[in-house]
Homo-oligomer: A and B are copies of this chain.
């Protein structure tokens, strides 16, 4: 029997690749999508498509209304920055940073893992093309693993939790190449912070910029349509 693993699935390129890698490692994928009050739902629809494509055993949704605490362009009505160079992105943590987002995501994933009897969690964080988010760094992940062992009934009973971050040291181009080799259909994913009403990506926000440069660097064509 396959070991169960909880895989956090946003519906983006990184989490789609992470799910494919978890399956490749032999885990039964239990996909978990957290709706933290995003302003658009297209990435949640993408998560459902990706979960099905990767052969997830199940796909759960947890609503966490982070819009009630605000503080981010992704959960509050602030302007999403556009047309920034990689240098500009590197200069400061952008307003698309969601306070404590990955702490919340991993906390919910930990609860789900405990219910399943799983000790393995997958999250597609990346410390290379990471937009400066503090909760994408290896030291954050290590601290969360320590916390998980102390936080849970399973931990007290001796289970050691492992937080798998297979993308953490990869460039966007390497992620795309790896996923393509595993058969990931990136046409099912959604990346854009600011799509139009039909869910078509803007091609100009930081997330679109990183994605498009990743495909270009990988020498591959992004199957997604863009507004321009």
What is the distance, in angstroms, from A76's C-beta to the closest C-beta of chain B?
9
* Interface assignment of A87: CB less than 8 Å from any CB of chain B: no
* Interface assignment of A86: CB less than 8 Å from any CB of chain B: no
Instruction: Scan residues 142-162 of chain A and give those whose CB is less than 8 A from a CB of chain B.
Output: 143-144, 146-148, 150-153, 155-156
Oligomeric state, in copies: 2
What's the tally of chain A residues with a CB closer than 8 Å to chain B?
Answer: 44
Knowing A99-B114, A139-B150, A150-B134, say if A108 contacts B64 (CB, 8 Å): yes
Complex: chain B residue closest to A142, CB-CB: B150
22 contacts between A and B (CB under 8 A): A60-B69, A62-B66, A63-B63, A63-B64, A69-B115, A71-B115, A97-B153, A99-B112, A99-B115, A99-B152, A99-B153, A100-B107, A100-B110, A100-B111, A101-B111, A102-B151, A103-B147, A106-B107, A134-B153, A134-B156, A143-B151, A147-B147
Question: Which A positions have Cβ atoms within 8 angstroms of B?
Answer: 60-66, 68-71, 93, 97-104, 106-108, 110-112, 114-115, 134-135, 137, 139-140, 143-144, 146-148, 150-153, 155-156
